[in-house]
Amino acid sequence: MEQIITCINCPVGCRMQVVLSDSGEFVSVSGNTCPRGSAYAKQECTLPERMITAVIPVEGSRIPLSVKTSSPVPKDKIPQIMDALSSVSLKAPVRLGDVIISDILNTGSDIVATRNILL
């Protein structure tokens, strides 16, 4: 079967046709104009991944802590990851780079602080 996806690596936004096997496995891609496109297409059709960024309240601080995943995580795990963040209780101080949750939901990715909250 075929799937159309748009590459997000650069402003050209090549529309690519991806051929998948009957079991949904990546077979081939056309329509890309560079190798980054085909790599993206393969990943996107096999296991779409995204970076997540969010904020978590910090006790005693007006400003919540901004966090990110340390690497892209499977897109279909986003709702559970957001739920997991809701059970985090944080206290200041927190420093940029601090690991808030290690290996979230077995994705191999950490939740990492992206700003300092020093009271």
Partner 1 sequence: MDYKTDILIIGSGITGCALARELSGYQASVTVLEKGSDIAEGATKANSGIIHAGYDAMPGSLKAYYNVLGSSMYPSLCSQLNIPYRRCGALVIALDENEIKSVEALKKRGESNGVENLSLIGKDEILALEPNINPQVVCALNVPDSAIISPYEAAYAFADNAAVNNTTFLFDQTVENVIKNSNGFTVQTNSDTFHCHVVINCAGSFGAEIHNILCEEKLEMTHRRGQYYLLDRSSEQPFSRTVFQCPSHMGKGVLLTPTVHGNMLIGPTAEDISDPCDTATTAEGLSEIIRKAVRTWPALSVRQNITNFSGIRAHLNSGDFVVGQNKEVPGYFEAIGIESPGLSSAPAIARDLCRQVVDYMNLVRKEKTIVYQAPSCSFHDMSNEERASAVESDPAHGNIICRCEMVTEAEIRAAIHRPVGARTVDGVKRRTRAGMGRCQGGFCMPRVADIIAEETGIPLQKITKSGGSSFLLTGSIESYLKGESNHDQSEN
Partner 2 sequence: MINRKTDILIIGAGPAGLAAAVAARESGVESVLVIEREKEPGGILRQCIHNGFGLHRFKEELTGPEYAQRDIDRASDLNIPVECSTTALSLSADRSVICVSAEKGLQHIEAGAVILAMGCRERPRGALCTPGTRCSGIYSAGTAQRFVNLEGFMPGKRVVILGSGDIGLIMARRMTLQGASVLACVEIMPYSSGLNRNIVQCLQDYNIPLYLNHTVTDISGRERLEGVTVSRVDQNRKPIPGTEIHFDCDTLLLSCGLIPENELSTGAGILLSPSTSGAVVDETFETNIPGIFSCGNVLHVHDLVDHVSAESQKAGASAAAFIRNKKHTTSFISVCDGDGVRGTVPQKIHRDADQEIQLMFRPTQVFRNSSAVIECDGQILSRKKAMIFTPGEMANIVLKPEMLNHVNGDSITVRMERN
* Through-space distance between the first and last CA atoms of the chain, rounded to whole angstroms: 56
Per rule CB under 8 A, is residue 99 in the interface with partner 2? no
Q: Note whether 8 binds partner 1 by CB under 8 A.
A: no
Q: Which residue lies nearer to partner 1 by CB, 19 or 100?
A: 100
CA distances from 11 to 7, 31, 32, 36, 74 (A): 9, 15, 13, 13, 24
H-only helix segments in the chain: 35-46, 78-85
For the chain, the residue count is 119
The distance of closest approach from Cβ of residue 71 to partner 1 in the complex, given in angstroms and rounded to an integer, is 20
Per CB under 8 A, the list member of 10, 83, 102, 103 interacting with partner 1 is 83
Q: What are phi and psi of 36, to 5 degrees?
A: -65, -35
- Name the token pair of 2: 């075929």
Residue 6 as a binder of partner 2 (CB under 8 A): the answer is yes
Q: Does 103 bind partner 1 (CB under 8 A)?
A: no
| Interface positions with partner 2 (CB under 8 A) | 6-9, 11-13, 33, 50-55, 57, 62-64, 66, 68, 75, 78, 82, 96, 114-116
Which residues sit at the interface with partner 1, rule CB under 8 A?
55-57, 64, 75, 78-79, 82-83, 85-86
